Structure 1
Amino acid sequence: MKNIIVTGTSRGIGYELALLFANAGHQVLALSRKTPAALMEHKNISCLSVDLSNEADLDSVTDFLASSWKIVDAVVHNAGSLLLKPFAETTQEDFESVYKVNVFGVANLTRVCLPYLQKGSHVVTISSMGGIQGSLKFAGLAAYSSSKGAVITLSELLAEEYKERGISFNVLALGSVQTEMLQEAFPGYQAPISAGGMATYIFDFTLTGNKYYNGKVLQVSSTNP
């Protein structure tokens, strides 16, 4: 049994992932602004209402870890903010809003968890093919894709900085997945894989990927995007 933190659990991949871990017998700390009843009612899931764009919200995570778990075996940084907007109309405020969730939220939550991570712990950051250098890019995603590139570099750096402690940091750069967030940004687009299907892949990688990888970026995409 492992103690696993998952962000962005109100819907989509994060929701499915939290249930997969919990149903497999692991203890899950589910972090999202909204908390689905199905997660709140599960005996293996603890839910906290957290806005990752607000650093002060993470105080509740600090309190929970200090009083309850003491150890964190894995963190899945799944929460994301997507903005589809022409670059000429994308303001600094727009960029900051996206980066607060996709970059600063990842950095701040990782910092909160560091005292509780131990040898063998695995931190998995969900990025995007849009953040991979040389991959196909899509107009209107300047803030989103650049933020997803930033967390790749952050993860590579943390893998180096904490390798002596035996903590692994890896990134999964996903292609398109059929989620509510994708539908809101690209109405009518049909992705080749469901949220549940991708959650199954992330579930397995979180539990075993650190045996084979550290500081790596795996491209998880069968299509373009």
Structure 2
Amino acid sequence: MKVLIIGAKGHVGTAAVRALEGKHEVIQVGRSTDPAVDLDDPATIEALLNEVGEVDAIVCTAGHVPFKPVTELTREDFESGFYGKTLAQLDLVRIGLPHVRDGGSITLTTGVTARAAIPTGSAAAMASGAIESFVMAAAGEMPRGIRINVASPTVLESATHFHDFFPGFPPASDEAVGNLYRRAVESIDSGTTYILD
């Protein structure tokens, strides 16, 4: 299959690439690649997909959200989390659907904050929870047999600079995280959130 991975150079993206390359034709893109894509700019999504052509699967591991105590979060912070994590991925679904072959798939990314509270994680919880609810509801309306799922891993072993944000959460291996994405791409599920805690 031809698999497009957006955010391929980050920790999660690298894990997804390792799990899928060798088995599929993997196209790795991000803000600094050629072609480049910035999910904050929907025009770059359209340009990327026009250049890449039809794909069997789109995997998104990109997104950003502020981490602050709830008492310090501003409206702008919530907007930043919504636009940077939620709307960015929903735009990818909206723009990407015509470029996915019949029976293909789209995989979005959330994280452990969708189901477990961490200090400073409320904006991330808002953004991730919205994505998971959207995917559950949208799966039944996807056209042409296209599947849509979510990969929702905990913090990665390799992302050591994030470990202090997740006290008491055992980090997951890159291999285990990558397998979430392999399962999402190669399974027959739709509307599913694949959880790795």
TM range (shorter): 0.7 to 0.9
**Residue matched to 2:147:** 168
Matched residue type, 2:72 = E
Give the counterpart of 1:104 among 76, 87, 90. 87
Native 8 Å contact 2:154 2:171 kept in 1: no
Largest Rg, 1 or 2: 1
Native 8 Å contact 1:29 1:48 kept in 2: no
Q: Structure 2: how far apart are the matches of 1:20 and 1:205?
A: 10
Native 8 Å contact 1:85 1:140 kept in 2: yes
How much identity, in percent, do the aligned residues show? 22
What is the aligned length? 196
Cα deviations by residue, 1:133-170 (Å, 9 ceiling, x for unpaired): xxx311211111110001011112221111x5211111
| Structure 1 residue 58 corresponds to structure 2 residue 58 | no
Native 8 Å contact 1:170 1:214 kept in 2: yes
**Residue matched to 1:84:** 67
Superposed counterparts of 1:1-225, under 5 Å: 2-24=1-23, 26-35=24-33, 47-65=34-52, 69=53, 71-132=54-115, 136-162=116-142, 165-180=144-159, 183-184=161-162, 186=164, 191-199=170-178, 201-209=179-187, 211=188, 213-221=189-197
Q: Structure 2: how far apart are the matches of 1:93 and 1:195?
A: 33
C-alpha change, 1:90 and 1:149, in structure 2 (3 Å) is same
Cα deviations by residue, 1:14-73 (Å, 9 ceiling, x for unpaired): 02322443333x2223232234xxxxxxxxxxx4322212223223213314xxx3x221
Q: Aligned Cα RMSD in Å?
A: 2.4
C-alpha change, 1:171 and 1:76, in structure 2 (3 Å) is same
Q: Structure 2: how far apart are the matches of 1:18 and 1:76?
A: 10
Matched residue type, 1:178 = E
Native 8 Å contact 1:30 1:48 kept in 2: no
Native 8 Å contact 1:13 1:179 kept in 2: no
User: SS at the partner of 1:165?
Assistant: coil
Q: Structure 2: how far apart are the matches of 1:16 and 1:174?
A: 11
Q: Structure 1: how far apart are the matches of 2:165 and 2:74?
A: 24
Q: Structure 2: how far apart are the matches of 1:219 and 1:16?
A: 15
Q: Structure 2: how far apart are the matches of 1:16 and 1:184?
A: 16
Displacement of 1:79: 1.1
Displacement of 1:10: 1.9
**Residue matched to 1:40:** none
Native 8 Å contact 1:86 1:139 kept in 2: yes
User: SS at the partner of 1:120?
Assistant: strand
C-alpha change, 1:203 and 1:218, in structure 2 (3 Å) is closer
Cα deviations by residue, 1:103-145 (Å, 9 ceiling, x for unpaired): 111111112221122332111122123213xxx3112111111
Matched residue type, 1:63 = N
Gaps of 5+ in 2: none
Q: Structure 1: how far apart are the matches of 2:185 and 2:166?
A: 34
Q: TM-score, normalised by structure 2?
A: 0.85
